[in-house]
Amino acid sequence: MNKKTILAVDVGTGMVKVFAGKLQADGTVDILGSGTAPTAGYEKGVITDVNALTHSIRQAVDCVIMAVDEQMTDCVYLGISGSTLVTQNSIGSVAVTTPETITPQDIERACKAATFEIEQDKYEILHVFAARNSLAKTGEAVEVEAHIVAVPKDILGEISHALKESGLTLNCIIAGDIMAAETIKKELPGKPENFIFMDIGAGTTDFVMYVGGNPCFSASLPLGGDYITNDLMQGLTVNRAHAEEIKRYYSRLSSDLRNQGVVLDCNDYGTTDKHVSYDFLYDIIESRVDEIVGLVYDYIKPRLSQYVTENGQTLERIYLTGGSGAMPSMASRIANVFQINTEMVKPVHLPVEYAQPANTVCYGIIDYGARVLASEPVVGKSAWDVLIRKAKKLLKIC
């Protein structure tokens, strides 16, 4: 194995996406190639069939291996999201080493204490973030609210086993969206501290809320672009692939076409009768966009009060990504409903063929892999975890 190669796998509802990359001396990654395969065994953020999902992952990896002409199967960084992951905020409290002072080591110990609330025989903890901290009244103890992300151990075991059977070695599993948020955060101008990173894909809307520069809350809602595609399938009596084409065609058009009596030729191979008025498409698509944004807002609003407003903070911006986040009306609708500036983000530092909003998560995963390989400290992993990892690697049990 070339120790500097990374296979970043993003398990999405629509597609499994893979980036193959090589770590460079300056710590950056060169993308060697990418591969995709339609996802099976994973619906709206829930793994329904591990073997079918593994088959999809293997297909996407094979695409990339063919493209880069290099055997790289033992360096898989698997990013998952959705409700396969368990997220929880817990309080950990420890005595401070120096009275009235909170050191990073104190925060780390308090985070560790917070994880004791998680049933560690059932869950593998993936990431722990210090969401907020305060000194206890006496000034001798620090209390930390930690945002903890875990995966059920049985699911982790099944995935790891199934990947191994298919000839792939799982290096580690991570929360793809949170790591993408961490990567994008580093690249944002002005270093915003209070913001929401939101990834709207095919089946889920995943978001991470940052306060004071730290992830303090994350969740996944079963809402995505598939709703729009399904409505188009019914409304226009077309198959899924055709509906996807029509949706993308519509997305390229200006909404100035509304109320102009414009009729679009939406025919594909095998159809001749799909001449559809722009207004009809607008009504189907935009009513679904409204519904998705409304439901996301209803879910996030109480968390905004709890984590942002009640702490005297103001949300600066929403950073939107994901295939459905790229729809022209999505950002403006979110900005209207949330009353917060909303901006679309994508992996702008990648070569143009990869710099799509649907690739942001895969980019975050490969960036995480690069930081692990370069042995940089990785946010959401304690020094203790990194030490254990290194020891396991040395002993070749990981």
Ligand X SMILES: Nc1ncnc2c1ncn2[C@@H]1O[C@H](COP(=O)(O)OP(=O)(O)OP(=O)(O)O)[C@@H](O)[C@H]1O
Q: What is the contact surface with Mg ion in residues (CB under 5 A)?
A: 12, 201
Q: Does 203 bind ligand X (CB under 6 A)?
A: yes
168 binding partner (options ligand X, Mg ion, none; Cβ < 5 to 8 Å by kind): none
Let me know: does 320 contact 334? Beta carbons within 8 Å: yes
Question: Taking CB under 6 A as the criterion, which residues in 262-291 touch ligand X?
Answer: none
Q: Which range in 196-204, 232-240, 273-281, 338-346 contacts ligand X by CB under 6 A? A: 196-204
Let me know: does 129 contact 105? Beta carbons within 8 Å: no
324 binding partner (options ligand X, Mg ion, none; Cβ < 5 to 8 Å by kind): ligand X
How far, in Å, CA of 39 to CA of 19, rounded?
Answer: 16
How far, in Å, CA of 307 to CA of 300, rounded?
Answer: 10
The string of DSSP letters for 328-369 reads HHHHHHHHHHHTS-EEE---TTS-TTT--GGGHHHHHHHHHH
By beta-carbon proximity to ligand X, the closer residue of 146 and 365 is 365
Collapse the DSSP code of 283 into the 3-class scheme (helix H, G, I; strand E, B; otherwise coil) and give the result. Answer: helix
How far, in Å, CA of 88 to CA of 166, rounded?
Answer: 33
By beta-carbon proximity to Mg ion, the closer residue of 12 and 225 is 12
From the list 229, 196, 185, the residue with the least C-alpha distance to 342 is 196
Output the smallest distance, CB 274 to ligand X, in A.
Answer: 18
229 binding partner (options Mg ion, ligand X, none; Cβ < 5 to 8 Å by kind): ligand X
Output the smallest distance, CB 81 to Mg ion, in A.
Answer: 7
Of the candidate residues 225, 347, 369, 380, the single one contacting ligand X (CB under 6 A): 225
CA of residue 240 relative to chain centroid, distance = 24
Q: Which range in 183-191, 198-206, 338-346, 363-371 contacts ligand X by CB under 6 A? A: 198-206
Output the smallest distance, CB 236 to ligand X, in A.
Answer: 15
Q: Does 244 bind ligand X (CB under 6 A)?
A: yes
How far, in Å, CA of 261 to CA of 278, rounded?
Answer: 7
Task: List strands edge to edge, sheet with 86-95.
Answer: 86-95, 141-152, 123-135
Of the candidate residues 114, 180, 327, 373, the single one contacting ligand X (CB under 6 A): 327
By beta-carbon proximity to ligand X, the closer residue of 185 and 247 is 247
By beta-carbon proximity to Mg ion, the closer residue of 59 and 321 is 321
Contact string (CB under 6 A) for ligand X, positions 147-186, x = contact? ----------------------------------------
Q: Which range in 49-57, 199-207, 339-347, 378-386 contacts ligand X by CB under 6 A? A: 199-207
Contact string (CB under 6 A) for ligand X, positions 342-371, x = contact? ----------------x-------------
Task: List strands edge to edge, sheet with 214-221.
Answer: 214-221, 205-211, 195-200, 317-321, 342-344
Question: Taking CB under 6 A as the criterion, which residues in 82-101 touch ligand X?
Answer: none
Q: Give the C-alpha distances (Å, rounded to integers) separating 256 from 252, 253, 264, 330.
A: 12, 8, 14, 16
How far, in Å, CA of 87 to CA of 217, rounded?
Answer: 8
Q: Does 204 bind ligand X (CB under 6 A)?
A: yes
Q: Does 247 bind ligand X (CB under 6 A)?
A: yes
- The region, left, alpha or beta by phi > 0 then psi within -120 to 50, assigned to residue 4 is alpha
Q: Where are the alpha helices (DSSP H) in 151-239?
A: 153-165, 176-187, 226-236
Let me know: does 227 contact 203? Beta carbons within 8 Å: no
Q: The tokens 């593994």 sit on which residue?
A: 54
By beta-carbon proximity to ligand X, the closer residue of 34 and 204 is 204
Q: How many CB atoms lie within 10 A of CB 353?
A: 9
Q: Which range in 8-16, 109-117, 163-171, 366-374 contacts ligand X by CB under 6 A? A: 8-16
- Footprint of ligand X on this chain (CB under 6 A)? 12-15, 201-204, 224-226, 229, 244, 247-248, 251, 322-324, 326-327, 358
